Each structure stands twice: as structure tokens, then as C-alpha cells.
């Protein structure tokens, strides 16, 4: 009985290509009490492997967080399986705006301590006492209200390529960093302002809204289904799209375009660009924004040093990496000192002081 992926990404990509099936890219999450996470994890893997599901799924005692792709012809069977699980029946599925058959190349179902690394002690507050969920139309109305503070709950490299107009975009590397930062900077507005939050698919806001209500914020709202669902609702209902740029996603696509605006710049030359890439040097793998011209000139690398290393035969590169961890730059997400046009660091909460 196979309980883990046993194919390489290259082998799986070849099988996807040969199959010629159109795949749907989907994400969903659900907070729920899961008793035996290992048994549940194995059940999900066995069922989904049969349906040719690929993706990254995290399971914890607090619920499930899934980003995946499934052949379009298997979607109904996939949905039927979800509906057969009590707490996942009719769960909201965020279907991507742009699909890519190669968005995911493996099925990884992992048991984790939490489905999102939030650094919170859930025993100290009521995680079910969440903010008000709002759809696209109500969200548009709220963010036009001068009594609203709109906060992007994503990280700096996500909001850099796209965000809602007039949103506060915390200059943080991780979700857990943003929680206390936002609470501290907005503490004077706990009673009088609408705190409206959004993220990619809604999962970060789900926990953050309960946390901020616990911290004393009285008027807490969150965008139902996040940016992904918002984009679909806007198109379906003919609403004004107030999101500018691209939505960062955590798969091979790296982003999906929501508006035609390009609001970011190439980290190497400064030209307008909004496509993230990972440095081709496996010992670096830095995530940064690179335009097509620099991609060609720098051979998909973030520096001349990485380019020279990447030109070496594979065995020589492997020998250089032996005993060495990844460069610390891998955690900087576009902030490495050698990138001349990296995003400026600034106090994004200055908007409240104007």
C-alpha cells in the first residue's frame, strides 16, 4: 500500500505531459478538530492518489490546509470524496483564475503542528470567535468607508506585486511577525475603526480575526475566500475590481494576474516587472523579481557569482554544496543586499498618520 509519493518531479511532469489532461488548480482550508491526524492523513493520500491529485496538503489537530491540482475530469469525484467527510462537506473551494497543468508535480500530505505557522497559543483565546466574513460587494463598500483600516495579512514579497488600493502592507517576512506589529500600530483604533483584512485564500484572516477580537478590536471583518474568491466574484457579478497587480500563489505558477497593472520592479535593473523567480543556483535559490531581459542576461540567477556557479558541471556544484546549508539569502525573499532595486524598507503604518 503506497502512502507516499515515489516519483520525482521530472518523472511526474513527463506523466502529466503524456496524459494530456487539463488540470484544475484548487485551494481550500477548514479549521476542525481532527483526532488521529496520521490516520486521517493516510486516508486522504490513498483517496487522492487514486484521483491523480497533486499538491501540498497540511493536516493538524486544528484542521486542514490544501493547495492542489486535479484532472478536470476527476473534479466531481474529488468533490464527492470531500463531501463524504463530515467537516469537509460543502467546504468552499477556491478555484484558481489561471490554471497550469504543472502547478504541482507531487502529492505531499504532511502532518504538522499547525496548518499555518502563526506562532499563537490557541488556548489563550477563542479561535471560533471570528470576524465578519464579507463578499466582494460588501468588501468594496467597506474599503471605501473613511472609517476603515484595510490591512494586507500577507508577507512583503506577496503584496509587492499586487494588493488592494490604499491597503496597509506590513513589511514582514512571515505571518507571525505581522500579528503583533499590526495590533501595536492600530491599538488606538480598536474602538472606532473598521479593521478589514484580506489574504490569498482566507486562511490567515480566519485565525487573525479571532486574535484581534481577543485583543479588543470591536469591528473586525475579513474577505471571504481571500483574493482568489474576490477575483471570481468581481468577474461574475460585474463589480469594480479594486485589486491592482498580481496575486502571489504558492505553486509553480507563483502568481496569477488580477489586473493589468504592473506595480513592482525588477530587483536587478529596476524596470517594471512582477514575475518572481528562484535563483537557478541550488545553493542560493533566492526568491526575487526578475524581468525577461535580466532573466536572459543573468541566466535565471540573482548574481554573477551564482551565474558562474550554475555554469559548473552538476557534480562540481554538488561538491561545492556538500556540508554547506543554503545561503541565508534564501530567507530574505528579494531583500538580499546584492539586489540594487530590492523593495524599500519603510514604515507602512505611516498612512495612518497622514
Domain of residue 82, CATH code: 3.30.70.100
Q: Beta-carbon neighbour count of residue 237 at 10 Å?
A: 10
What whole-number distance in Å separates Cα of residue 260 and Cα of residue 202?
A: 23
The whole domain housing 270 covers 264-346
Number of domains in the chain: 3
Same-domain pairing of 229 and 275: no
Task: Tell me whether residue 9 is in a domain.
Answer: no
Residue 291 annotated to the active site: no
Same-domain pairing of 106 and 137: no
Q: Could you tell me the maximum CA-CA distance found in the chain, to the nearest angstrom?
A: 62
pLDDT digits (tens, 9 = 90+) for 177-207: 999 999 998 999 999 999 999 999 999 999 9
All three cell numbers of 4, joined, read 507516499
Task: Tell me whether residue 255 is in a domain.
Answer: no
Same-domain pairing of 280 and 330: yes
In the predicted model, residues of the chain with pLDDT beneath 50 are: 346-354
Same-domain pairing of 106 and 132: no
The per-residue pLDDT for 112 is 96
Same-domain pairing of 227 and 324: no
The per-residue pLDDT for 354 is 42
pLDDT digits (tens, 9 = 90+) for 279-306: 999 889 899 999 999 999 999 999 999 9
All three cell numbers of 99, joined, read 490554471
Site of grid cell 518531479 = 9
User: Which of the residues 199, 284, 302, 306 is marked catalytic?
Assistant: 199
Same-domain pairing of 270 and 316: yes
Task: Tell me whether residue 77 is in a domain.
Answer: yes
324: alpha, beta or left, given left = phi > 0 and alpha = psi -120 to 50? beta
106 by Cβ neighbours in 10 Å (0-12 / 13-18 / 19+) ranks as: middle
Same-domain pairing of 102 and 133: no
Amino acid at each position: 500500500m503506497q502512502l507516499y509519493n515515489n516519483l520525482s518531479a521530472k518523472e511526474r511532469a513527463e506523466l502529466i505531459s503524456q496524459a494530456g489532461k487539463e488540470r484544475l488548480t484548487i485551494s481550500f482550508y477548514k479549521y476542525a478538530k481532527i483526532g488521529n491526524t496520521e490516520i486521517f492523513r493516510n486516508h486522504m493520500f490513498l483517496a487522492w492518489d487514486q484521483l491523480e491529485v497533486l499538491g501540498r496538503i497540511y493536516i493538524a489537530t486544528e484542521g486542514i490546509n490544501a493547495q492542489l491540482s486535479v484532472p478536470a475530469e476527476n473534479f466531481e469525484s474529488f468533490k464527492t470524496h470531500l463531501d463524504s467527510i463530515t467537516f469537509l462537506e460543502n467546504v468552499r473551494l477556491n478555484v484558481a483564475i489561471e490554471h497550469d497543468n504543472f502547478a504541482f508535480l507531487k502529492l505531499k500530505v504532511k502532518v504538522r503542528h499547525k496548518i499555518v505557522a502563526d506562532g499563537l497559543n490557541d488556548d489563550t483565546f477563542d479561535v471560533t470567535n471570528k470576524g465578519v466574513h464579507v463578499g466582494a460587494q460588501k468588501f468594496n463598500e467597506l474599503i471605501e468607508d473613511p472609517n476603515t483600516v484595510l490591512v494586507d495579512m500577507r508577507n512583503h514579497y506577496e503584496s509587492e506585486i499586487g494588493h488592494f488600493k490604499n491597503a496597509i502592507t506590513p513589511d514582514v517576512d512571515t505571518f507571525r511577525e505581522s500579528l503583533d506589529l499590526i495590533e501595536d500600530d492600530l491599538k488606538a483604533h480598536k474602538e472606532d475603526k473598521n479593521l478589514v483584512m484580506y489574504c490569498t485564500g482566507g486562511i490567515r484572516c480566519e485565525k487573525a480575526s479571532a486574535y484581534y477580537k481577543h485583543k479588543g478590536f470591536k469591528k473586525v471583518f475579513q474577505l471571504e475566500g481571500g483574493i482568489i474568491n474576490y477575483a471570481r466574484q468581481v468577474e461574475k457579478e460585474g463589480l469594480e475590481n479594486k485589486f491592482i497587480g498580481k496575486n502571489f500563489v504558492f505553486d509553480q505558477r507563483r502568481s496569477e494576474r488580477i489586473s493589468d497593472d504592473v506595480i513592482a520592479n525588477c530587483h536587478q535593473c529596476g524596470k517594471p516587472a512582477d514575475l518572481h523567480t528562484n535563483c537557478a543556483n541550488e545553493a542560493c535559490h533566492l526568491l526575487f523579481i526578475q524581468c525577461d531581459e535580466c532573466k536572459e542576461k543573468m541566466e535565471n540567477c540573482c548574481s554573477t557569482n551564482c551565474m558562474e556557479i550554475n555554469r559548473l558541471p552538476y557534480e562540481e556544484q554538488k561538491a561545492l554544496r556538500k556540508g554547506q546549508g543554503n545561503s541565508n539569502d534564501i530567507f530574505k525573499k528579494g531583500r538580499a543586499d546584492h539586489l540594487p532595486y530590492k523593495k524599500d524598507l519603510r514604515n507602512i503604518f505611516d498612512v495612518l498618520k497622514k
